[in-house]
Amino acid sequence: MLNPLPQRRTTGAAESDFGSALRLVTPRRPVEAERPRLGTVLVDAGVLAPADLLKVLAMQQREEARLGEILLAHGMISQAQLMAALATQWRARVIDPAFEPPDPRLVDRYTPERCLRDTILPWRRLGSLTVVITARPHLFARHEEALTRMFGPVVMALAQEQEVFQAVQQIRAKALVRRAESRVAEPLSCREFVSRRKQRVLLALCIAALLIALAAPRLGFALLTGWAVATLVLQMALKATATGLVWHGLRAEARARRRASADLEAAARATPPAAPLALASALPAFNSRRSRPAIARLPVVSVMVPLFREEHIASHLIQRLSRLTYPKELLDVCLVMEASDDTTRLTLSRTPLPGWIRVITVPRGAVQTKPRALNYALEFTRGSIVGVWDAEDAPEPDQIHKVVQRFHERPAEVACLQGALDFYNAGTNWLSRCFAVEYASWFRVVLPGLARLGWAIPLGGTTLFFRREALDEIGGWDAHNVTEDADLGMRLYRMGYRTELIESTTFEEANCRALPWVKQRSRWLKGYALTWAVHMRNPARLWRDLGAWQFAGFQLLFLGALSQFVLAPFLWSFWLVVLGLWHPLSGWMPGWAVWTLAITFFASELVNIATGLTGTRRAGHPALYKWVPTLHFYYPLGSLASYKALWEIVTKPFYWDKTTHGLHAEDDELAPIIVVAPANAPAPAALNPAPRPT
């Protein structure tokens, strides 16, 4: 085992000895030719077997991971052994910044955000030298010129990555919290939009509208009914178009498969059995369609998992994430929890975590929302791709592979990938079944339709993956928006980026109790309303950013959806006419108008059923077909949620109504369907070949 002496802590009087040593010993680091290889140091110390080193070096050829990261991820060495070896390799001291904190003035000069991004920690000045700690010594030369301009002569010391992160967090948590709460520019954030003054104005407008309705009730009722019918027709047209586009795409794919199969059979008949290479060359179109550009080296992928009051989910979450087949040394899973969340802290303290999963604690701030936590944790991630999962999520095991491959194939303007969501407890009761049908319709029909129409995609809150550079450019999430995902999708589109859908599913827990369902849906609708209001602050600017077609789509998606939920009772009122009872518009509407409304309502139901059946078919849930017509009794819950949302916009716009997770495990009635690829299907290029169960 390596001698741990290089990890000696520098304290008190020992600091002067350390400073003297730094001055006596030239701070020249060994050049590349002189510096021993880390693997050689470990083998010479008897820590690593030569055969294991060869295996790890072969893995490193196809991964953007350092040798030490691979060894740690596979449990071949300990963190102490790695730090001792790095100290020997780089002729550098190891310092524990938790034991001897850095000078805050030096950190401020370099800025906390830059310290986290570069894993650089200006520690202390010792005479004419500034000691700079790094967790990535191989990258220190890249920053040395800037450090020297800022601090004068510098000398490198070493620390673990987590120690650097914790030191920055310890001394500058407040600055990081302020940044997390204000990353998005004010014109595109709702943090000032719902000030006390604006809340009073909004309340006054609502009261004025109510007074006008009371003064001319029939006119007001007629106008609101007309708006409700208009948005219903537009929503129906959108769903019908999306359903038609999906079926058109499915037929096109089927025709392409038949043509490819026919070409393959024809080539097989025309090619002698002894010439397999000729067979491959005879099908260039078929082969090129299936081939994918190879990935030279797999990147590091960070995934943030926000947790809040999660008492039952931790062990299940670790088990589900452990199924991922992406190389663990390239996975950076961050469990994000609030400092005030004692429940989650206690739960995690009892749960053993693998080395590729770490916990990030978000200090208290002005608000306590999921997007604020994501913004804070984003500073600590190290991947070039950043994803988000929820606490109860069970992603398909090959999901990260698919994300990496798609980003590799697409241009930089594709900044976000959205996966599909489904439920592992869809068969719990009627509410969960309807919820599953709704999700299938949204993710398998409506969103693909929006993509084909060229409209912006309002993101879902999980199974999202971003290019880190693009996410930083647009400012991350709006910390005050309780539907941060939909808002982020719009800002991406306004800044010239695109979102694409990927064929990968994450299974999560369906909310199958009425009151929690209403609370969750009210939060979504409140966020939709705030998102619409924020982006409509300057309609002319929004029109220029989106164009006329996309501007219309934005209005239909956000204002149209809100209108449907809020004004649904005006449409339900026509059941009075069917039952032969008095209606507020009795005597105002001619007979043809009543028949037109009846046909419209009937057509709307048919479209909803067609969309639901298409979505459940694509999701592989035939057991849900019979429940699709019952959505007619499911959506009224959304109207209740919309009124709760409107009230909270005025009273507590940033309140995050927590959804409880971990109440239901996976059931067998609608278990995730594992799609087995045919034997001749191409594997993702240069990807880890280990299987991924769903």
Burial of 561 (0-12, 13-18, 19+ CB in 10 A): buried
- Say how far apart CA 557 and CA 450 lie, in whole Å: 10
Q: In this structure, what DSSP letter does residue 298 have?
A: B
DSSP string, 49-77: -HHHHHHHHHHHTTBS--HHHHHHHTTSS
| Cβ pair 444, 372 in contact under 8 A | no
- When computed from its CA atoms, the radius of gyration of the chain, rounded to whole angstroms, is 29
Strands 301-307 and 464-467: unpaired
Q: 250 falls in which pLDDT band (50, 70, 90)?
A: confident
- Say how far apart CA 571 and CA 425 lie, in whole Å: 33
Q: 24 falls in which pLDDT band (50, 70, 90)?
A: very low
| Cβ pair 557, 234 in contact under 8 A | no
Burial of 1 (0-12, 13-18, 19+ CB in 10 A): exposed
| Cβ pair 389, 310 in contact under 8 A | no
Q: 27 falls in which pLDDT band (50, 70, 90)?
A: very low
- Say how far apart CA 267 and CA 178 lie, in whole Å: 64
Q: Residue 590: pLDDT above 50? A: yes
| Cβ pair 523, 511 in contact under 8 A | no
User: Quick one: tokens of 91?
Assistant: 């002729």
For tokens 């001055």, the residue is 23
Q: 313 falls in which pLDDT band (50, 70, 90)?
A: confident
pLDDT in tens, 352-369: 899 899 999 999 999 999
Q: In this structure, what DSSP letter does residue 97 have?
A: T
| Cβ pair 482, 527 in contact under 8 A | yes
Q: In this structure, what DSSP letter does residue 494 have?
A: H
Contacts of 136 (CB under 8 A, 6+ apart): 66, 119, 161
- Say how far apart CA 299 and CA 387 lie, in whole Å: 13
Q: Residue 420: pLDDT above 50? A: yes
- Say how far apart CA 86 and CA 65 lie, in whole Å: 16
Per-residue confidence (pLDDT) for residue 9, from 0 to 100: 44
Q: 273 falls in which pLDDT band (50, 70, 90)?
A: low
What is the rounded average pLDDT of the residues 493-517? Answer: 94
CA 270 to chain centre: 49
Residue 133 forms beta bridges with which residues? Answer: 121, 157
- Say how far apart CA 530 and CA 216 lie, in whole Å: 29
**Mean pLDDT value across the chain:** 85
Per-residue confidence (pLDDT) for residue 21, from 0 to 100: 44
User: Quick one: tokens of 338?
Assistant: 């609030």
Contacts 24+ apart (CB under 8 A), 78-83: 79/160, 80/4, 80/7, 81/1, 81/2, 81/42, 81/45, 81/47, 83/6, 83/7, 83/158, 83/160
- Say how far apart CA 473 and CA 76 lie, in whole Å: 38
Strands 385-388 and 464-467: antiparallel
Set out the domains of the chain in order of their start, with CATH numbers.
5-181 (no CATH), 301-651 (3.90.550.10)
Q: Residue 533: pLDDT above 80? A: yes
Q: Residue 35: pLDDT above 70? A: yes
Instruction: Tell me what percent of the residues of the chain surpass a pLDDT of 90.
Output: 66
CA 13 to chain centre: 48
Please state the three-class secondary structure of 124-164 as a single string.
Answer: EEECCEEEEEECCHHHHHHHHHHHHHHHCCEEEEECCHHHH
CA 232 to chain centre: 31
Q: What number of other Cβ atoms are within 10 A of residue 349's Cβ?
A: 9
CA 387 to chain centre: 4
pLDDT in tens, 338-355: 999 999 999 999 888 998
Lowest-confidence range among 38-52, 154-168, 283-297, 590-604? 283-297
pLDDT in tens, 106-152: 999 999 999 999 999 999 999 999 999 999 999 999 999 999 999 99
Burial of 258 (0-12, 13-18, 19+ CB in 10 A): exposed
User: Quick one: tokens of 505?
Assistant: 């599913």
Q: Residue 199: pLDDT above 80? A: no
How many residues does this entry show for the chain? 694
Coil vs helix vs strand at 81: helix
Q: 585 falls in which pLDDT band (50, 70, 90)?
A: confident
- Say how far apart CA 649 and CA 352 lie, in whole Å: 41
For tokens 């008949």, the residue is 269
Q: Residue 11: pLDDT above 80? A: no
Q: Residue 192: pLDDT above 50? A: yes
Per-residue confidence (pLDDT) for residue 665, from 0 to 100: 58
Q: In this structure, what DSSP letter does residue 496 have?
A: T
Per-residue confidence (pLDDT) for residue 202, from 0 to 100: 67
Q: 593 falls in which pLDDT band (50, 70, 90)?
A: confident
Residue with more model confidence, 548 or 663: 548
What is the rounded average pLDDT of the residues 269-277? Answer: 56
Q: Residue 289: pLDDT above 60? A: no
Question: With the C-alpha atoms ordered 525, 419, 384, 79, is the resulting torsion angle positive or negative?
Answer: positive
Question: With the C-alpha atoms ordered 547, 549, 553, 556, is the resulting torsion angle positive or negative?
Answer: positive
Coil vs helix vs strand at 99: coil
Q: Residue 293: pLDDT above 60? A: yes
Q: 28 falls in which pLDDT band (50, 70, 90)?
A: low
Q: Residue 17: pLDDT above 80? A: no
Q: What number of other Cβ atoms are within 10 A of residue 255's Cβ?
A: 10
Q: What is the pTM of this model?
A: 0.85
H-helix or E-strand spanning residue 187: none
User: Quick one: tokens of 331?
Assistant: 């996975």
- Say how far apart CA 330 and CA 326 lie, in whole Å: 7
Residue with more model confidence, 663 or 71: 71
| Cβ pair 559, 230 in contact under 8 A | no
Question: With the C-alpha atoms ordered 35, 36, 39, 45, is the resulting torsion angle positive or negative?
Answer: negative
Residue 156 forms beta bridges with which residues? Answer: 132
Per-residue confidence (pLDDT) for residue 194, from 0 to 100: 58
Per-residue confidence (pLDDT) for residue 25, from 0 to 100: 40
Lowest-confidence range among 251-255, 598-602, 615-619? 251-255
Closest C-alpha to 635, from 491, 476, 470, 517:
517
pLDDT in tens, 317-328: 999 999 999 999
Backbone angles phi, psi at 126, to 5 degrees: -125, 95
Q: Residue 603: pLDDT above 70? A: yes
Lowest-confidence range among 116-120, 654-658, 664-668? 664-668
Residue 498 forms beta bridges with which residues? Answer: 414
Q: 1 falls in which pLDDT band (50, 70, 90)?
A: very low
For tokens 């450090």, the residue is 147
